[in-house]
Amino acid sequence: MARTVIIDTHGGPEVLRLVDREVGAPGPGEIRIAHRACGLNFIDVYQRDGLYKLPLPAALGMEAAGIVEAVGEGVTHLKPGDRAAYACQPPGAYAEARVMPAAQVCRLPDGISFEEGAAAMLKGLTVDYLFNRTTPIAKGDWVLFHAAAGGVGLIACQWARSEGINLIATAGSDEKCQMALEHGAAHAINYREGDFAPRVREITEGRGVHVVMDSVGKDTFEGSLDSLRPLGMMISFGAASGPVPPLNIMTLAAKGSLKITRPTIFTHIADHATCQEMAARLFGKITSRAVRIEIGQRFALADVAEAHRALEARRTTGSTVLTL
């Protein structure tokens, strides 16, 4: 048996319940893993509140790290006793242990702690596909990144610095802006002090940025488009402030033949070999110290509802982990 967080209905943090569930043995292509730490992400909120519908009852959590206890038939890249980490479907990471598909579970290097692994996988693989797999970004290019003091954002700031990319960060306070700068952002804008788009134009001498990476959604979408130079790419990869309203595609033409995409991490990591390659790139950034994983908050598994409240209220910085 393993303590596991589930929901019986969609709703607020109050619907999260901690129950005992039988774990069982892994089948073909599966592993059983005992978690040491679990990551917290906005996708968990979307699944809990029903923006992303799940068949109910449902376990939550997309990211964790721990020890492989058993492997099923056909699993060759992992063995019992391996340190491992993952960010993948199906949900169920908020648990002491689970049985799950093995293909997207990755061996965790000894130099990376379980908490770092749990905090890094979904966010770090997201940053990898943003910078390496979505649109070409060259050394010296300009990128606008919203919510840059969050878990994904602080990794992105460091990643950009390590690649020679000029990242303009936005955040909701001077303190968070300073944090983004300390992690590698070239410039930081407090969006609570006024429209960010004119400031982006000023920083880029009127040209605008090559790429916008926007996980905020509704509140920043129009300003993001206005921050792009002609032929620029808008990457909308989240909706923390709410879904983006319907877009008239002619708007992209009027603003300079812009491009737009709405990727998900799970499309990028669906192939086993690709996922392992992306994880190796992420682990290389961490072990070389080009990227440092900032864990700003730790909550016990039993306090998961409070962790969700803190995340939704934007009271968090860096990554948040649930400890076991």
- Amino acid identity, position 34: A
Start-to-end CA span in the chain (Å) = 14
What pairs with residue 34 in β-bridges? 67, 97
What pairs with residue 18 in β-bridges? 5
Place of tokens 């004119």: 198
CATH 3.90.180.10 segments of the chain:
2-122+269-323
Q: Domain 2-122+269-323 carries which CATH code?
A: 3.90.180.10
- Provide the pLDDT for residue 242: 86
| Residue 99 · residue 32 · CB < 8 Å | yes
Low-confidence ranges of the chain (pLDDT < 70): none
Residues 283-308: tens digit of each pLDDT: 999 999 999 998 999 999 999 999 99
| Residue 11 · residue 300 · CB < 8 Å | no
- Provide the pLDDT for residue 314: 82
| Residue 89 · residue 37 · CB < 8 Å | no
- Provide the pLDDT for residue 316: 87
- Provide the pLDDT for residue 188: 98
In three-state form (DSSP H/G/I as H, E/B as E, the rest C), the secondary structure along 153-216 is HHHHHHHHHHHCCEEEEEECCHHHHHHHHHCCCCEEEEHHHCCHHHHHHHHCCCCCEEEEEECC
Report the C-alpha gap between 242 and 233 in whole angstroms.
21
- Provide the pLDDT for residue 103: 96
CATH 3.40.50.720 segments of the chain:
135-262
| Residue 63 · residue 38 · CB < 8 Å | yes
- Provide the pLDDT for residue 318: 83
Q: Measured between alpha carbons, how far is residue 15 from residues 5, 45, 83 in Å?
A: 10, 11, 32
CATH homologous superfamily, domain 135-262: NAD(P)-binding Rossmann-like Domain (3.40.50.720)
Residues ≥6 apart with Cβ < 8 Å to 175: none
H-type alpha helices, 242-318: 250-254, 265-268, 272-287, 304-312
